[in-house]
Amino acid sequence: MKTQPPILPLIFVAFCLTSCGGGSSNFDQPFVSDPLADQYDGNAINIGSIANSPAIRNSVLLGVRDVNDAGGVLNKKLNVVAFVSADVPDSVALAKQLLKVDIKAIHSSFSSRSLAISELSIPKQIPLISESATSTFFSTYADNDFFFRMVPSDVIQSKILADLAFNQGFRRVVTVHNQTDPYGETLTERFKQSFEQLGGEVIDRIEVPFTVTNGFDSFLARVAEQNPDLVLEAIVEPDISANWVNESISFGIKARFLFPDAAAGVSAFVNNLADPRQIETDVGTAPGFGLATNPEMILFEQLYRQQFGLAPESFTVSGYDLVLVTALAIERAGFVNGTDNPSGLMVRDSLREVMNPPGETVSPSNLAQALQWVKSGIEVNYSGAYGANDWDAQGDITGEITYDVMSVDSLSKTWKTVSQQQVFIPLLATP
């Protein structure tokens, strides 16, 4: 494989959010950063990204690099204004900044953050696409067809988690999630339904406010009182999730743990564990990795390792696919509307047209051909590094869905895949 040139300028911009640009040359005045001005390019086609981690941001930057290496979009460079947000309020503040300028589409991480951002982006008719929002809430969300996601809803994950718990002999489970978090609320409710259908029992559902990030003693006392076999731990932020585990072990909780994708496959969770050996027999699930034998997934992993010197994390492949399908939609929107500056509504109307059949099958490995076909008016059907997927009428993906069952390698302090499960969801109808 040809070695790709580094994208250090892009990465440098992303890492300089608090230290470059937007300041005064007067040394008597305090330096003020303006990350939007630092990154926005008025001569390019701009998209926005509000990621939850540097790994996800890097996957978006990699996708933008590959689009530009393939010729860009609408005879211009594709540019991303790429942020890493700390929480929901931070994500909302960043989205407000993005929506002040000409942004064709926005990427966002996590269900709670995506929901909050969507309340701003939908009225502006800007499509919002998430690489990691898995809450079942979005399958019936009144979004005027402006919200899409690159991962399956937790209808599937909750059943896989329930099967894993029951098949390992666990019968009495406590679930833990953040209060008001649509991801945790719907995941644990669906888990309860599936687990109790199998013959198990969810004996308590504990809701932890987002404002409580450590000092969980009052909640842990409830767990100890119930004395469960297993705790399904669905706290959404991975470092806070690790805090829960650390404090649970110190508190003397003997139950085993089961982790959904908020923690499973995420390095920030493992890196914040006090002693990974304490949970090395526990497992988690994640839909954030593509099928290991898929040539397009293999290509993505090679590109990611080559560029960043790290293994891809959960949902990085979805972040990458998101950029490529957005670029194809922008190119098509320009072609069918006869403009080099399509609106967000035009881009929205082209998303399914480049993701769904019919059309020539295109993938990351023939991205340049795909963009040229769209430029020439030829319909395409994107089959990504994650899998061959389409969008249904709700913006949920159908087709090939892959879940990793994972455990923690305590020596390397990394997640490792134990097995993969693949299901197929047929595309029933689109608008």
pLDDT for the residue 35? 81
Looking at the DSSP bridge assignments, the partners of residue 172 are 201
Nearest-5° Cα angle at 420, 417 to 423: 155
Domain 8-152+294-395 of CATH type 3.90.550.10? no
pLDDT for the residue 4? 41
pLDDT for the residue 7? 42
Tally of residues, the chain: 431
Q: Do 235 and 213 form a contact (C-beta atoms < 8 A)? A: no
**Mean pLDDT value across the chain:** 93
pLDDT for the residue 33? 67
Residue 12 has pLDDT above 60, yes or no: no
Beta-strand relationship, 147-149 and 106-108: unpaired
Percentage above 90 pLDDT, the chain = 90
Amino acid identity of residue 181, one-letter, is D
* Fold observed for domain 154-286+400-425: Rossmann fold (3.40.50)
Domain map of the chain by residue range? 8-152+294-395, 154-286+400-425
- Neighbouring C-alpha atoms within 13 Å toward the C-beta of 296: 22
Residue 42 has pLDDT above 50, yes or no: yes
Average pLDDT over residues 94-120: 98
| 34 band by pLDDT with thresholds 50, 70 and 90 | confident
pLDDT for the residue 15? 35
**Per the confidence metrics, is the pTM higher than 0.95?**
no
Average pLDDT over residues 122-132: 98
Distance of CA 327 to the CA centre of its chain: 18
Average pLDDT over residues 362-371: 98
Residue 339 has pLDDT above 90, yes or no: yes
- Please say whether the dihedral angle defined by the alpha carbons of residues 86, 77, 352 and 293, taken in this order, is positive or negative: negative
Domains 8-152+294-395 and 154-286+400-425 agree in fold: yes
pLDDT for the residue 31? 55
- Give 262-313 pLDDT, tens digit per residue: 999 999 999 999 999 999 999 999 999 999 999 999 999 999 999 999 999 9
Q: Give the contacts of 245 (CB within 8 A, at least 6 positions apart).
A: 233, 257, 273, 278, 279
| 166 band by pLDDT with thresholds 50, 70 and 90 | very high
pLDDT for the residue 296? 98
Residue 402 backbone phi and psi in degrees, to 5: -115, 135
pLDDT for the residue 30? 62
Residue 9 has pLDDT above 70, yes or no: no
Give the residue ranges of DSSP H helices in 309-378.
316-337, 344-355, 367-375
| 24 band by pLDDT with thresholds 50, 70 and 90 | very low
Beta-strand relationship, 147-149 and 172-178: unpaired
- Give 97-106 pLDDT, tens digit per residue: 999 999 999 9
